[in-house]
Amino acid sequence: MTGHAELLSATGLHAFYGPSHILRGVTLTVGRGETVALMGRNGMGKSTLIRTIMGLVPAAEGRVELAGIDATRLPTFARSQLGVAYVPEGRGIFGTLSVAENLDIAARPGPDGATEWTVPRVFELFPRLAERRTNRGDQLSGGEQQMLAIARALLTNPRLIILDEATEGLAPLIREEIWATIRLLRSTGLAALIVDKSVNELASVADRVVILVKGEIVHEGPPAALLADAALMHRHLGV
């Protein structure tokens, strides 16, 4: 996708952790309503790419545009105000606050004034959170914490949601629930950039697959092309 249809356009990104050159000229786009899967083995730069897009790691070179606005030097909160919600790998919920409090502090209209995601609607999406609304964040299971992190992200009424390790460490039933949620979000037209190790599940929800190896994109295309190429999957994903 090109032009104004892109919600996220990252071009020629280079990033470092100390002396280590992690991202080496990465260019990545996510169009409106598009779901992009970001794949690669551990330590290949996926989380660094997401953190650079969000402004948590500075881009040494390159440019990040969000909804057509140059966000390369903007702080993280300003990027989220442009309609990007980020669910980090560690989930980042407030352990000492209740489920309801975690949700209330996140709720706000989207960048275009959209208010389609409300607390009652996320409780409908995640009935388990409704049951646990008075529980503290640190009293929830890993799966419930992930649901809370996604619910909190949705309450910012974003145009794009970024999920880093969407189902990492979760029980199989809960993982299935998270994938069902991702499919539902996709059907609402919300754009998504998703990192996960479950290649088949990722391929089933994505419009496009991007594989990162040592900070460079080595493959990009439709999921069917990846699934049909066993050698490519084995080489870059170890499956």
d(CA 190, CA 148): 18
d(CA 2, CA 21): 28
Return the structure tokens found at 117.
């995601």
Instruction: Name the strand (E) or helix (H) holding 7.
Output: strand 6-17
The reported pTM is: 0.94
Domain boundaries in the chain? 3-83+159-237, 92-151
Q: What is the mean pLDDT of each run of 10 residues along the chain (239 residues)?
A: 71 94 97 96 94 96 96 96 91 91 95 93 96 96 93 96 93 93 94 95 96 96 95 91
CATH of 3-83+159-237, one of 3.10.129.10, 3.40.50.2000, 3.40.50.300, 3.90.1150.10: 3.40.50.300
- The 8-class DSSP code of residue 221 comes to E
Residues 6+ apart with CB under 8 A from 180: none
Return the structure tokens found at 219.
């493959």
